[in-house]
């Protein structure tokens, strides 16, 4: 999805190429993932020559909100504070980031 949000539209080959800089990806795996994302309503495609041109249907903010709500409900008993506590306890947060979080939480 990040590739599609950045490019606005992309073929499977373009997604593979964009992801290939970070890790090795298989064309058929990307194709399958895009098909699944389309079935779930996150992307749509149109035919462009012999290739499908995919575009995002949901924006990044909307997708993050939905994914976070799912995560909080499934793993953190519908408790956002439990999620935040878990992140603070188990992730490497540098002092500058922690200070910014404290400022956001201050009344």
The answer to whether 69 and 60 have CB atoms below 8 angstroms apart is no
User: Is 22's pLDDT higher than 80?
Assistant: no
**Where do the CATH 1.10.10.10 domains begin and end in the chain?**
2-56
> Taking the model in full, what pTM does it have?
0.72
- The stretch 30-41 carries a mean pLDDT of 95
Render pLDDT for 62-89 as a digit per residue (tens, 0 to 9): 999 999 999 999 999 999 989 988 888 8
Render pLDDT for 41-57 as a digit per residue (tens, 0 to 9): 999 999 999 999 999 99
Is domain 2-56 in CATH 1.10.10.10, yes or no? yes
Beta strands 51-56 and 43-48, pairing class: antiparallel
């Amino acid at each position: 999805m990040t590739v599609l949000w950045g490019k606005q539209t992309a073929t499977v080959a373009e997604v593979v190429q964009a992801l290939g800089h970070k890790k090795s990806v298989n064309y058929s795996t990307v194709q399958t993932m895009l098909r699944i994302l389309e079935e779930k309503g996150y992307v749509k495609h149109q035919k462009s020559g012999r290739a499908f041109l995919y575009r995002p249907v949901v924006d990044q903010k909307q997708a993050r909100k939905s994914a976070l709500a799912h995560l909080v409900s499934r793993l953190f008993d519908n408790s956002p504070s439990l999620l935040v506590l878990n992140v603070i306890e188990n992730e490497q947060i540098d002092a500058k980031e922690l200070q910014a979080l404290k400022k956001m939480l201050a009344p």
